[in-house]
Amino acid sequence: MASESPNIEQSEDQPALETIVSLAKRRGFVYPSAEIYGGFAASYDYGPLGVEIKRQIRDLWWQSMVREREDIVGIEAAIITNPRVWEASGHLDVFSDPLIDCLKCNARIRADHLEGNQCPECGAEDQFTEAREFNLMLRTQVGPVEDDSATAYLRPETAQGMFINFENVQTTTRKRLPFGIAQIGKSFRNEITTKQFIFRTREFEQMEMEFFCRPEESLEWHSYWKKERLRWYYRLGIRSENLRMRDHDAEELSHYSSGTSDIEVRYRWGWGELEGIAHRGDYDLSQHSSHSGKKLTYFDPDTNEHIVPHVIEPAAGVDRILLTLLIDAYNEETTANGETRTVLKLAPEVAPAEIAVLPLSRNERLVPTAKKIHDLIRPHFRSQYDDAQSIGRRYRRQDEIGTPLAVTVDFDTLDDDAVTIRDRDTMEQIRVPINKINESIANRLAELTPHVPEMDEINV
């Protein structure tokens, strides 16, 4: 059994973004896209560990938003659809940012991001073109003829898929109000400023839910979803002091919104949006109704009325949540013998692996035993097996990728049929019999899972 010294110091500051970018690449969370061709601006590829976390994020969202609820169902709509959808939704007209060009260096800048009258690239003062609106939708051509009739768009939000399928879903599921339609999938925006790694990119993944309710109940549901969504981030283990709810000012509101609250995260560069919870009123159903000529209403069998439901929409980004988890969980600790250890203190549910199985060495008797133990564990937990390099180095590697527990198989195991389970955060080790291994792991993981406050304990 390898002994380690407990931590004596722990940095409380957030890591620099470069530290996270470098860890992400070194360990296989996120790589720059097309790196062998010099990369491609603001495009990233997810590696073996990144995809595990993304999958967990999506599954936890789907679990809490769809599977655990009676009132929400899921869909998957097309990314490229009839362009009239974007006419009706307002995205063709108003989904744009104001752009100016620097007359000296030709830099293209978002007018609303300009601080003072100086070009952020070359420092020239007051030398800009007039601002013009730049539509953020990514355009493409459908079919072999490149004319206007073939123009289509990659969806800038998944939400419209739910509105255009409102009637279909309602008819096939016979859901009564209030009910929601949820979707996870890629969205695309031709963002002008892409910054902060995967925080804002042109291709990203959204998890959105449109909750249809009676207009007179909509404010109550808005408040319900603000609390419920905040609880979900506590479940992911994001530290509560790094989360806050902020209501939009009137001038910030999107074209469809009559009220939005953002769940924000404290980053080193300031507070940033993690998820928007918008009150979309009847905007989308009314727009699609008038553009398509189809009546998109709900018939209430109790009152015999046709009503246009109002919509509350929690909208989150998978990539941004992943970045937030890496930053929030990152710790550098100085151990008693003066070594620095990097630990990702991820909650077990969002760690790429829950447990690592490590034979003390590549000894020919230890390896087959360790592999057998791994076979016992792997059907039940997300696990890794590693026998390369020294045990100390392997503990460090698992700490750095956030694996909460490690099973060590040593020479005593061959005699006593027991293994050591090491805890990532405390580095404490306990000895457990092999025939109780899955039970012991499950118990310890449950203890490490963050406590989620009840709805009435949340104040927003």
CA separation for the pair 213, 230 (Å, rounded)? 21
DSSP string, 313-374: EEEEEHHHHHHHHHHHHEEEEEETTS-EEEEE---GGGSS-SEEEEESS--TTHHHHHHHHH
453 prior amide bond cis, ω within 30: no
Q: Should residue 396 be labelled a site residue for ligand GAP when binding is judged by CB under 6 A?
A: no
Q: Which stretch binds ligand GAP (CB under 6 A): 12-20, 316-324, 341-349, 367-375?
A: 316-324
Q: Should residue 279 be labelled a site residue for ligand GAP when binding is judged by CB under 6 A?
A: no
Q: How far is the CB of 426 from ligand GAP (least distance, A)?
A: 33
CA separation for the pair 165, 236 (Å, rounded)? 31
Residue from 72, 162, 209, 316 touching ligand GAP (CB under 6 A): that is 316
Q: Should residue 276 be labelled a site residue for ligand GAP when binding is judged by CB under 6 A?
A: yes
Footprint on residues 333-362 left by ligand GAP (CB under 6 A):
none
Toward ligand GAP, which CB reaches closer, 152 or 263?
Answer: 263
Toward ligand GAP, which CB reaches closer, 156 or 348?
Answer: 156
Structure tokens at 367: 């390896």
Neighbours of 440 (CB within 10 A): 18
Q: Should residue 97 be labelled a site residue for ligand GAP when binding is judged by CB under 6 A?
A: no
Of 277, 273, 276, 253, nearest to 264 by C-alpha is: 273
b/e map 55-80, b = 16+ CB within 10 Å: ebbbebbbebbbeeeeebebeebeee
Total binding residues toward ligand GAP, as defined by CB under 6 A: 19
Q: Are 423 and 341 in contact (CB under 8 A)?
A: no
Place of tokens 């073109």: 129
Q: Should residue 315 be labelled a site residue for ligand GAP when binding is judged by CB under 6 A?
A: yes
Taking CB positions, which residue lies at the least distance from ligand GAP? 317
User: How far, in Å, are 22, 70, 283, 332, 341 from residue 1 at the CA level?
Assistant: 31, 49, 63, 24, 19
Residue from 275, 328, 349, 387 touching ligand GAP (CB under 6 A): that is 275
CA separation for the pair 8, 336 (Å, rounded)? 6
Footprint on residues 132-191 left by ligand GAP (CB under 6 A):
157, 159, 189, 191
Q: Which stretch binds ligand GAP (CB under 6 A): 113-121, 125-133, 271-279, 291-299?
A: 271-279
Toward ligand GAP, which CB reaches closer, 229 or 394?
Answer: 229
Toward ligand GAP, which CB reaches closer, 193 or 240?
Answer: 193
Q: Are 204 and 190 in contact (CB under 8 A)?
A: no
Length of the chain: 460
Toward ligand GAP, which CB reaches closer, 196 or 331?
Answer: 196
Footprint on residues 183-242 left by ligand GAP (CB under 6 A):
189, 191, 200-201, 204, 206, 208
Q: Are 6 and 337 in contact (CB under 8 A)?
A: no
Toward ligand GAP, which CB reaches closer, 163 or 179?
Answer: 163
Q: How far is the CB of 319 from ligand GAP (least distance, A)?
A: 5
Q: How far is the CB of 238 from ligand GAP (least distance, A)?
A: 13
* Residues engaged in binding ligand GAP (CB under 6 A): 157, 159, 189, 191, 200-201, 204, 206, 208, 273-276, 313, 315-317, 319-320
